[in-house]
Chain A
Amino acid sequence: MLDRAPQRAKDDVSAETRPVAFRGAGFVPGASRFGGWIALAVVIALWQLAGTARLVNPLFLPTPLAICRAIYQLAMSGALWQHLGYSLMRIGIGWLLGTAFGIAVGFAIGLSTLARSVGITFISALFPIPKIALLPLLILWLGIGEEPKIATIALGVFFSTAISVYSGVDAVPRNLIRMAQSFNVPFAAIVRRVIWPGALPSILAGFRITASVALLLVVSAEMIGAEYGIGAFVLQAGNLMQTDQLLAGVVILSLFGLAIGKLIGLLETRLLHWR
């Protein structure tokens, strides 16, 4: 028979009890659902009030309403779509080219010793260059058309993609590859069914980075030399002191960035639901 715990002494029962003090509070910040939106609305409202009360010079900081009006006018006149269209075309082609080459090179580096030794050296040497610095050279090589802008974007996207792809390939658990080998699964099938899905989280995380790289580069390239495009439009508006137009361009860029982020988020929930 098991020993029982000793009976409580009488004086224990009569003694006063007190609760154990709770000391586990804090350190679990949670994002509330509407908090962010409310804060944003408050800031915009204050901004609008400051503008209408003439506390700030509308030339330096136009009110949110003025910016909305500018966007509306731009949309109606068709100028918005023209600028946006050019920017989208450059981003789209540049991003796709850079991503395609980046994925190919990233996989080569992740899978082959030769590609790795050569590739990593070149990528480490070239990755830190701000790609916009190459635009003048690319203009000399490719002329003053769309090509140098697209090439700048593609270069910027390429390096980030290659790096995120090969680190994704490196991060695929080796035990899964060994498992596949132990079942005599052929090389191509291991790449397709083990390494590709295993690297996908890192590849998609890379897309988030390359999307912002592409946006940054398209605006920079368009500011350096373009007739159309959001970057060119923002620059012209600044030169003409049309700050409402300028900020309209900035807002559109921000919305565009948000939309891309949302799209990648959707892609992640679809493709990475297993995580």
Chain B
Amino acid sequence: MDLIADHISHCFGALEVLDDVSFTVRAGEVVAIVGPSGCGKSTLLSILGGLLQSSAGQAELRGAPPAGSLNPLTFVFQDFALLPWSTVEANVEFPLLHTPLSAAECRAQVDDALRRTGLTDFRATYPKQLSGGMRQRVGIARALAVRPAILLMDEPLSALDSQTRELLMEDFIRLLADGAMGAVYVTHNLEEAVRLADRIVVLSRRPGRVREVVTMPMTRSERGSAEWRGKLLAVQNDLWSLIRNEAIDAEREVQDA
């Protein structure tokens, strides 16, 4: 199943946020979206995931979702969005309660998602007892439980400290390794983008337009090796030189609101 941004534009009142953004996320592909702060990355992801109605253009799906997918487009949130009154297990089960799954199937899906995120021993704990990294793992487990075709992630690591970020990055790379699941990964962190993405969509500053789509010159599994590390850094530097001037402008911008 492909996800297509088809000439998406968006305004909040008089504020033009996105201007004619188009790109395609092919099945199993990981697309990173980078751009200066406030350029409309989160807005774009909300539109892609059907949580926000665009002013013009639309998000489209092409092809059937994989069999057994209960929620083809599934979000992983920056602030985790866990139900504080539910245990880890209940949080992961939450989206399954309203699906046609039987209780036994439900339990199997939850167990599987908890196992893949290393949360099996934490099923009875409450979110407030967990560290930020473990909370985001619950968010990821909840997303995995509904068998997504495409994960929509809006800066999923930016609320975490750098060590936890590194650990979760490794989890993401592992989860996305087999290509069964695609992802749209919004980030302002270029290093995350070059490590995870197959392609990187670079947005201009507000109103966000597609400035460039960078295709990564190596597969994800190759990127761990030493000889590619320099190459990765070069891509990252290229990206930064694309964004730098606009980032400066975006930062110096005075909010009218």
Contact = CB atoms under 8 A, between A and B. Distances in A.
- Residue among A181, A184, A186 with the highest chain B CB neighbour number at 10 A: A184
Given A178-B51, A184-B71, A185-B95, A194 B83 contact: yes
A137 B94 CA distance: 50
A239 interface: no
B43 interface: no
Given A189-B98, A197-B85, A274-B84, A183 B146 contact: yes
Interface string B164-199: 000000000000000000000000000000000000
B83 A175 contact: no
A275 B71 contact: no
B83 A176 contact: yes
Interface residues of B, number: 21
B79 interface: yes
Given A193-B94, A274-B128, A179 B77 contact: yes
A175 B79 contact: yes
Interface string B19-58: 0000000000000000000000000000001110000000
Main secondary structure of the interface of B (DSSP, over half): loop
B66 to A, nearest CB: 17
Interface of B: 49-51, 71, 73-75, 77, 79, 81, 83-86, 94-95, 97-98, 126, 128, 146
30 contacts: A173-B81, A175-B79, A175-B81, A176-B81, A176-B83, A178-B51, A178-B81, A179-B81, A180-B94, A182-B51, A182-B71, A182-B73, A182-B75, A183-B94, A183-B95, A183-B146, A184-B71, A184-B95, A184-B98, A185-B94, A185-B95, A185-B97, A185-B98, A189-B98, A193-B97, A194-B83, A197-B85, A274-B84, A274-B128, A275-B84
